[in-house]
Amino acid sequence: MIAILLSTYNGEKYLRDQLESLYSQTYKEFQLFVRDDGSTDSTISILEEYESKYSNIKLFESETTNLGACESFIWLLKNVKAEYYMFCDQDDIWFPSKVQISLDALESESKRSNEKAIIVHTDLVVTDNNLNITAKSLWENDNINPSKITRKYLKLVNYVTGCTMMFNRKARDLSIDYTGNILMHDFWISLCVDSSNGAIVSLPIPTIYYRQHANNTIGASSKKYRFPILQRYFHMPDFTYSNNLYKVIRAKYGIGFVKYLIIRISYYLKF
């Protein structure tokens, strides 16, 4: 079974568009699991409407609300058991073949990487809130092409976008036990798979319209910095993020600070 995990929060403006794109998929053998993170608009009503129309939606009622996107998706991951998983954001649009393309690639990789944790992910088309295209490739827009960055530097720069991921049960099992700040759910799962010598398959095709608007939790790069190179490669002046990132990398890879700094400098020189 493919489990599509959707976390919602005050998503009434774009949620119907996203749900319609899910139910327009060419591959329809999936279950949609939804956890609302404390919405105060009509999000719940919209979800209940679709739940009454389709038998493959389960809306969780969680006692704990307002966990934030990262913790909410991890909650879903812990509480859903399936063969394959996908993350879904409330405001994007999935291309009709998204599930099928990801499934074909994952099953193909499974034949080569038996018993390994596997992630498949793709590029994205970036749009504004009205779905006008602003970048035909997120990878090019954010300079995060996996073929250029390579797995060596994944621990520094996450190029696996959660809403494009499909991953297997092994990847899920590696990711649900953690302590401390994991930064974001997609980055965490990528690190768990990478550090376990799992497979990460990067498909250089878009499968989603990645809608950018004022309320995005995270998205395509648009900020302007006085020292863009230092900011991008050393996360300056966001030292809190840099410190949290180092703690995660140290825990997953056993890398000391000096080696971590050398890797970060070599990444800076590479680009």
Mean of all residue pLDDT scores within the chain: 88
> Which residue has better confidence, 76 or 221?
76
- Domains of the chain (ranges plus CATH)? 2-213 (3.90.550.10), 223-271 (no CATH)
Bridge partners of 118, per DSSP, are 199
Per-residue model confidence (pLDDT) at position 64: 65
pTM for the predicted model, two decimal places:
0.88
| pLDDT tens-digit series, residues 75-127 | 999 999 999 999 999 999 999 999 999 999 999 999 998 889 999 999 999 99
How far lies 28's CA from each of 56, 64, 100, 120, in Å? 10, 31, 9, 19
Does pLDDT of 214 surpass 80?
no
| Ordered alpha helix ranges (H), the chain | 15-22, 43-53, 69-79, 98-112, 138-141, 146-149, 169-175, 185-195, 228-234, 239-253, 257-270
Share of the chain above pLDDT 70, in %: 88
CA distance 135 to 128: 9
More confident residue, 216 or 182: 182
Give residue-wise pLDDT tens across range 240-252.
777 888 888 888 8
pLDDT at 18: 97
